[in-house]
Copies of this chain bind each other. A is one copy, B any other.
Amino acid sequence: MQAQMETVKRVENLPIGVGGAAPPERLFSRASHRNDTCIPVGPARIGAPNFVVIAGPCSVESRDQMMETADAVKNAGAGLLRGGAFKPRTSPYSFQGLGEEGLKLLAQARMRTGLPVITEVMDTSEIDLIEAYTDIIQVGARNVQNFSLLKKLGRTRKPVLLKRGLMTTLDEFLMSAEYVLASGNEQVILCERGIRTFETATRNTLDISAVLVLKERTHLPVIVDPSHAVGNRRYVGPLAKAALAVGADGIMIEVHAHPAQALCDGDQSLRPEELDRLMADLKLMAPLFGRLM
């Protein structure tokens, strides 16, 4: 802890690294923290031996959509509720999210279901606002090397779920986590969500081996987002099972009460009944892998 405090100081007092001193022990590494980190978030536990399911819509779109989907997530027995209020979209002309109005609906869904919630932050100027409404702050794939954002998230007290970028090596991914850890926030969750490769049959390529490499190198929880990785509802369930089989600490999946009407990512969103079935299957599998659900 003393060692970490010194690291933090070094990060804040720029410039660092100039002196050419040996790099400090990485805070993410098993060498600095042997046992699996388990992060409590309300009634949920993220980290081994638990297997957590985070589910919800891509975006918060309206009160009806959010509450109906939240109820479905709760009824299926998932542990946390996801929903985007600030949406990073490739085109400036696409739906950009409801902003604070979306955060309020998400908070209502939390009250209604008792599920902790997670939502994405896109800019340092939104951190305070989002922190006030959410239980976990998500950093999206496009911001995985937004170091200004990571440093400031290191000074919040909320857990940070960090998504791997489409072309982030695992070394880089861990160093991005280090930015948060070194700035003082020990609660970081890593999420593999598919990388960009030459193959176009799926939206991205789920790098399932990444779970193994990460679990070996770091004590931080590692979860998988199969929805964004493949972009196709039919493949989400089997990949979620593969994630459990390979040793992930959980999954994050998109669910929508009415996928055909979704403003984004409808094709990859499970219907409520599909989520029910998947949860049942995962619960059957979990004991074989020493996991609690």
Q: Which residues of A are in contact with B by a Cβ distance under 8 Å? A: 10-11, 14-18, 23-24, 88-99, 122-126, 142-143, 145-149, 151, 165-167, 169-172, 175-176, 178-179, 182-183, 195-202, 205-210, 212-213, 216, 229-230, 234-235, 238-239, 241-247, 263, 281, 284-285, 288
B residues in contact with A216, CB < 8 Å: 234
A–B Cβ pairs within 8 angstroms, 24 of them: A14-B96, A16-B92, A16-B93, A23-B93, A90-B172, A92-B182, A122-B146, A122-B148, A123-B146, A124-B124, A201-B209, A206-B208, A206-B209, A209-B230, A212-B238, A216-B234, A238-B247, A239-B246, A245-B245, A245-B285, A281-B288, A284-B288, A285-B285, A288-B288
Give chain B nearest CB distance to A204 CB in angstroms. Answer: 9
Number of copies: 4
**Of B10, B166, B239, B245, the contact of A244 (CB 8 Å cutoff):** B245
Q: What's the Cα separation between A26 and B54 when bound, in Å?
A: 37
Chain B residue numbers with a CB within 8 Å of A206 are 207-209
Q: Which partner residue on chain B sits nearest A95 by CB separation?
A: B17
